[in-house]
Amino acid sequence: MTTESRLHVVAGVVARGGQVFLARRPAHLHQGGLLEFPGGKLESGESAHAALKRELQEEIGITANTLEPLIRIPHDYSDKQVLLDVWRVADWSGEPHGKEGQQAGWFRFDELHADLFPAANVSILTALRLPESYLISPEPCAENHYGLRMLHQTLKAGVRLVQLRSKRLDADALRPRVIQYAALGKSYGARLLVNTHVDLVPGTGADGVHLTSKQLFAFDKRPLPSRFLVSASCHDAQELERAVAIGADFVTLSPVTPTDSHPDVEAMGWKRFAELVDACPIPVYALGGVARSELSEARQRGAQGVAGITRLAKDYGG
């Protein structure tokens, strides 16, 4: 099913000071008692922007001054298929309240979990917890000095999600580096994912695993409990669908533009990237020749943010 044929619903994330404003669905409605982000259906001829501004004023009494795209989630319920079009309310006027008499209020973000929301909302929580950049480490050198120095510099500059990738080291040789990288990351409030080696995540301080596209088809379900992150490398629609099927939290999609590291691989371009992302219900990072300066372009195309190795590291002073 194309996104155009789905019921188009908009939602707004109103957040400040580690809290987010939510409403509770009335008990007599479908999925009653669960929390939801304010929003509603588009009226005939209405744009997503206009619809969300109207809904926010009608439901919680605020005027949205600045809206930023967060994620678009196609979701199938038993009785209908929806496109949940979610935006950050970056600036607003007025004080949010339950204007229609509904239960509504501020909730601490760190206390929210998937069971409190309708299924379609789970990816919103994931997207809100993910940063704008996903840094992939270069191959760790023998003494590991460059890698740690680069990581320290990029963390200091604001990187908060890192993938440790090594094509040369086996699990035993990589383990001490995982422990070092994870500890340094935690000192900055950043999370570390280990490429390929699922078994290196528990007990090292790592926050999750990044699966290769080949690994996607080796697992029937996500290889780690929900307290860990699971991401994956994807290059086409089939791999994106597989990542969703096994329960990945987010993915990278590449190559968006030509890269020096894979000169023989045809880049998909931003148009195809946007088409693939539009059908994917989990957050997607744009990877492959993409710079931090292209973050706005990536987000307009539906991405969570940008990912990269050398180029992104340089953008953050690494």
pLDDT tier at 312, thresholds 50, 70, 90: very high
118 shares its domain with 243:
no
> For residue 41, which of 6, 88, 7 has the smallest C-alpha distance?
7
| pLDDT value of residue 80 | 83
86 shares its domain with 27:
yes
- Cβ pair 186, 202 in contact under 8 A: no
Q: Of the given ranges (68-82, 151-165, 281-295), which has the lowest mean pLDDT?
A: 68-82
Evaluate if residue 298 carries a pLDDT over 80: yes
74 shares its domain with 195:
no
Domain hosting 115: range is: 3-129
48 shares its domain with 167:
no
> For residue 135, which of 285, 299, 298, 302 has the smallest C-alpha distance?
285
Q: Of the given ranges (116-130, 139-153, 238-252), which has the lowest mean pLDDT?
A: 139-153
275: its two tokens: 């088409």
More confident residue, 4 or 101: 101
Q: Domain of 110: which CATH number?
A: 3.90.79.10
| pLDDT value of residue 257 | 93
Instruction: Give CA–CA dist 304/108, Å, rounded.
Output: 22
Torsion, Cα 71 251 225 247, to 10 degrees, reads 70
- pLDDT per position as a tens digit, 221-236: 999 999 999 999 999 9
Number of domains, the chain: 2
Evaluate if residue 1 carries a pLDDT over 70: no
Q: Which of 84, 113, 129 is the last residue of a domain?
A: 129
Q: Of the given ranges (88-102, 135-149, 190-204), which has the lowest mean pLDDT?
A: 135-149
Angle (nearest 5°) at CA 107 between 104 and 111? 140
Q: Which of 99, 129, 159 is the last residue of a domain?
A: 129
Q: What is the DSSP letter of 249?
A: S
| pLDDT value of residue 117 | 94
Q: For the chain, give the mean pLDDT.
A: 93
151 shares its domain with 289:
yes
| pLDDT value of residue 24 | 93
170 shares its domain with 44:
no
- pLDDT per position as a tens digit, 175-192: 999 999 999 999 999 999
pLDDT tier at 19, thresholds 50, 70, 90: very high
275 shares its domain with 246:
yes
Q: Domain of 154: which CATH number?
A: 3.20.20.70
The CB density around residue 304, as the number of other CB atoms within 10 Å, is 26
211 shares its domain with 274:
yes
193 shares its domain with 59:
no
Instruction: Give CA–CA dist 140/129, Å, rounded.
Output: 27
- pLDDT per position as a tens digit, 235-274: 999 999 999 999 999 999 999 998 877 777 899 999 999 9
- pLDDT per position as a tens digit, 34-86: 999 999 999 999 999 999 999 999 999 999 999 999 999 999 887 789 999 99
| pLDDT value of residue 145 | 55
125 shares its domain with 230:
no
Stretch (H or E) spanning 252: strand 250-253
38 shares its domain with 148:
no
- Cβ-count burial 154-191 (b if 16+ within 10 Å, e if not): bbeeebbbbbbbbeebeeeebbebbbbbbebbeebebb
Count the alpha carbons within 13 Å of 292 in the hemisphere toward its beta carbon.
19
138 shares its domain with 120:
no
Q: Which of 94, 129, 164 is the last residue of a domain?
A: 129
